[in-house]
Amino acid sequence: MRYRGVVKLELSRDLTPEDLEALEKALGEAGLALAKGFRSPEEGGRIVGWERVGRVLRLSVETGRLRIDEASMRVKNSLEVSLGVRRIGIRSVRLEDALVEVEGEVRVEAKLPFVKSIERSGGRTIIHLEDLEERDLKRPFLLRLLRLLSEKEVKAKWGGKAEHWQLIKRSRVKFDPPLFTGDPNKVLEEVGLVKRFSVGQWLYTPLATYLLNAMRDLFLREVVLPLGFREAIFPKMYPLEIGLKTGHLRGTINSMVFCSLPKTYNIEEFEELADYMYVTDEAPPEELAKHLRYPEYFLCYAQCEPFYWFFGSELLDDASLPVKWFDRSGPSFRWESGGIYGLERVIEFHRVEVVWLGKPEQVVRIRDEVLKAYERFMDEVLDLEWRTAWVTPWYYEQSGAVERVEEFDINRPGTIDFELWLPYRGPREEQKAWLEVGNVSIHGTKFTGPFRIRHNRGETLWTGCSGFGTQRWLVAFLAQRGFDPGNWPPALRSYLRENPPPEPVVAITYPKTSAGREELSKLTELLRKV
């Protein structure tokens, strides 16, 4: 990679003939400053020509490993010192007509900030940059731009496929033939345990809530609490800045739900709209939008974000580590577009989010404990057919460079998915018959870096998290074991005996079909007999 550009400097006063001599010398020093720390001026940078018109200096600069924005600032700082003794100041610095020459033909076509145009020819790519003012030069815009380009390049190369999927372990075959082959999503709706509220949203009646809570409570009792995690309550509406730091705003913006505050608290300003709604009995969203601020928040997405925020800019010592919390205080929201289905893939779902923070070896050890407890939970407590898989991006970022992941190392940052078989979707041999119900991740410094979570002796801190999506666990459990508690495992049955079920909702018109009403009375009868 090589850079070229014109560093334009405005001096604070006109130059006398004696100043001119000093200027030549100062430029020589500025040239040396560009090579400082490098083996040669070619490797670092150099001034290849210059001109002066009145108070304006234009230096043609070429650099190698020294980024051209840094070079511009080095030139400015050096001239400030050497011309300062003659009381000549630098009014402004600007980088003009800059270009970056990259080996290889970068195929990205995207419109990028600070990029004027991209040319490709003869196996190289030339990126022409917009002019950069001093305040842009001081911020790492160019660094990020180049990183972005190389990420896009890598993604384009691997066909946009986001993840590796590698089987780690699978349970033995337990249901041959299957106990149940129905679609629990349909059954739950038919018997009236849930009612569709809006796209991807359900109302869970007390009996549905009872079953969801049974899943969640067993998970807490068997996995989370014995490992020493403590409950916290996290906010569920996040300022955009949080998503900037976690990277979600870049990576998953298409599936986030955003929200806006009203422009004013003064109800009188809404009067016209309120009157309109009164008379027409319609709520026009486009009119409402006029009264709202831009979306400054998004709704809970990964659920662990507030944890990193909390420890952001804090200094921790050995005594305060590791930190082990969980949150189950509210829903997550995701726009799943055409993928929305039943209770499995919804816009509003509930999850137990387990989070931890510590030194790398602590974080890996906790992950291993969580993983082991999960396996026991799937294999013995719920006694289901399960498998685990290592899922990592096709590439990872290491000190600014993007590399392809060739093999996985379980002690490196990455994610393990937990999947359960859904017999109603097909034989267990088929990929599409499996549902991800949860996962466990080690993030490395992905969050401790941007949130600046630090150790008092400068040791590296990592985080980990694990999400248990309650709806998905319930659907998958019912998909394998059906609706007869006689076929449910002892741990769940004894939980149900300790916590008797509430009455179902039965009204003249609810559940909708007579088949549904019949099924419901069978189910409640069976539940009473656990």
- Cα separation, 127 vs 97, in Å, equals 10
- Cα separation, 187 vs 344, in Å, equals 13
Task: State yes or no: residue 125 binds ligand ATP (CB under 6 A).
Answer: no
Which residue number, 437 or 492, has a Cβ lying nearer to ligand ATP? Answer: 437
- Cα separation, 298 vs 205, in Å, equals 27
- Is 336 one of the annotated active-site residues of the chain? yes
Task: State yes or no: residue 334 binds ligand ATP (CB under 6 A).
Answer: yes
Tokens 């066909």 — which residue?
159
The answer to whether 326 and 231 are in contact (CB under 8 A) is yes
| Only segment of 74-82, 343-351, 481-489, 509-517 that touches ligand ATP (CB under 6 A) | 343-351
Spell out where 32-136 has E strands: 45-53, 56-63, 90-103, 115-121, 124-129, 132-133
Among 467, 482, 504, 511, binds ligand ATP (CB under 6 A): 467
| List 29, 163, 436, 519, catalytic entry | 436
Which residue number, 65 or 425, has a Cβ lying nearer to ligand ATP? Answer: 425
Collapsing DSSP states into helix, strand and coil, what is residue 528?
helix
**Binding track over 426-465 against Zn ion, x by CB under 5 A:** ---------------------------------------x
| Only segment of 186-194, 284-292, 345-353, 515-523 that touches ligand ATP (CB under 6 A) | 345-353
Sign of CA dihedral 61, 66, 71, 75: negative
| Only segment of 59-67, 219-227, 299-307, 451-459 that touches Zn ion (CB under 5 A) | 299-307
Which amino acid is residue 413, in one-letter code? P
Task: State yes or no: residue 26 binds Zn ion (CB under 5 A).
Answer: no
- Is 43 one of the annotated active-site residues of the chain? no
- Is 348 one of the annotated active-site residues of the chain? no
| Interhelix angle 206-219/470-481, nearest 10 degrees | 100
Minimum CB distance to Zn ion, residue 403 (Å)? 24
Q: What angle do CA 389, 394, 395 make, to 5 degrees?
A: 130
The answer to whether 91 and 77 are in contact (CB under 8 A) is no
Task: State yes or no: residue 304 binds Zn ion (CB under 5 A).
Answer: yes
**Which tokens belong to 276?**
């309109």
Among 19, 80, 105, 336, binds ligand ATP (CB under 6 A): 336
| List 334, 351, 367, 481, catalytic entry | 334
| Only segment of 117-125, 129-137, 218-226, 468-476 that touches ligand ATP (CB under 6 A) | 468-476
- Is 345 one of the annotated active-site residues of the chain? yes
- Is 487 one of the annotated active-site residues of the chain? no
- Cα separation, 142 vs 69, in Å, equals 7
Sign of CA dihedral 209, 211, 212, 218: positive
> Which parts of this chain interact with Zn ion (CB under 5 A)?
302, 304, 465
Active site amino acids:
304, 334, 336, 345, 353, 417, 436, 439, 465, 472
> Which parts of this chain interact with ligand ATP (CB under 6 A)?
334, 336, 345-346, 349, 351, 436-439, 467, 469, 471-472
